[in-house]
Amino acid sequence: MYSDFDREIGEARVEQERQARIDAARAALQKHGREVCECGATISAARRAVYPSATRCLDCQEIAEKEAYLR
């Protein structure tokens, strides 16, 4: 059986992990995108204007979305 101490440690760990996910999400919202895609192509200024945190060019983004949809 678990003791109260074990339960408290578990609850604290869950809370730390939750806070870490919140902090990561906040950082991602504030993150600025890149000018160069992961594939090496330049991300267009128009795409960056519409989606400032873009890390992929339009072609790579379409491929990533298709792969995610097919899973």
| Domain parsing of the chain, residue ranges | 1-30, 32-71
**For the whole model, what pTM was predicted?**
0.51
Confidence of residue 30 (pLDDT cuts 50, 70, 90): low
Q: Are 54 and 34 in contact (CB under 8 A)?
A: yes
Picking from 31, 13, 12, 32, the residue whose alpha carbon sits closest to that of residue 23 is: 31
For residue 29, pLDDT over 70 is answered with no
- Residue-wise pLDDT tens digits, 34-56: 889 989 999 998 998 888 888 89
CA distances from 31 to 44, 47, 70 (A): 18, 15, 28
Which pLDDT score is estimated for 33?
72
CA distance 11 to 3: 12
**Can you name the residues that pair with 36 across neighbouring β-strands?**
42
Confidence of residue 59 (pLDDT cuts 50, 70, 90): very high
The pair of structure tokens assigned to 30 is 């504030």
